Structure 1
Amino acid sequence: MMRGNGLRKALVLAVGTPLALSLALACIPASPSLADWPTKADCASAGLKNCAALTAFVKELRAAVAAGDKQAVAAKVAYPIEVQLGDGLNVAGPADFVRQYDTIMTPAVRDAILKEDPFVSPRKLIQMVGEKAQVWLDVDKGRLLIGTIIIE
């Protein structure tokens, strides 16, 4: 999915001239910020009572990933989790996640978490989708956890 700067970069390559680029950029809506996306209806359809829980979860997850805090990231995962990488990587619990952290938390996964805003898919899944990785969040009794990691 191409949004924000990625779309702007593609337009620079496709359009070429500054005037045409300015006109094209004027037609692109600003990317929604974490503060106003997803909507209350999106959060409710995914099983959340409100979006504040999602906002807090994503902020905490991003802080842990940015700091390289393996234990804090591992605490935000639903276990067991299958990381879809190659033939699949089964992760039984937090200690297993920490041990395999560098294999799981590739630059693509970190980028999906740090740079992409969550959205609710038509299948009612909360996702952060990057260029080469996806992170899906599960809602269990109102609690958010990472439920799936897909690495291309």
Structure 2
Amino acid sequence: MFFQVFQTLYFMSSFFNQFGPNCTSFLVAGEVYPTDVRAFFHGISAASGKVGAIMAASIFSQVDTVTTFYASAGAGVAGALLTWLFLPDTTGLDLSEIDRMHRYMLADKVEHYHGDAIKPRHLSLYEKWRGYGKLADSALWL
């Protein structure tokens, strides 16, 4: 009985680990980076994930099982918090609009951009805190 419960918990945790954080590393990178730098930063994102995996494997081989579980839980909570704070919501946002905003940013004229990408529903909490949405013309949101 214990073995079946443990095996079920293992499979469930593996499924939700692969379903969430694993696919995030390539799905998010494909949406949040502008087209002209997407491939480069997608590679940086993937490499960062691999470095993290190597670091975890190296560190976890030196500590006991209980510490490994607590460290994994802590890393998961920290990752969720960072995602919640810094990841913009691109749901319903056309990727060409991200490119358009990026062109304004490169020209150092982001204050002249008034498109969909700075609507409050698309901004991360950090971007809202920094006031990026105040540049948007709320009359154009309708």
TM-score by length of 2: 0.29
User: Highest Rg: 1 or 2?
Assistant: 2
Q: Flag the structure with higher strand content.
A: 1
More relative contact order in 1 or in 2 (CA 8 Å, sep 6+)? 1
TM-score by length of 1: 0.28
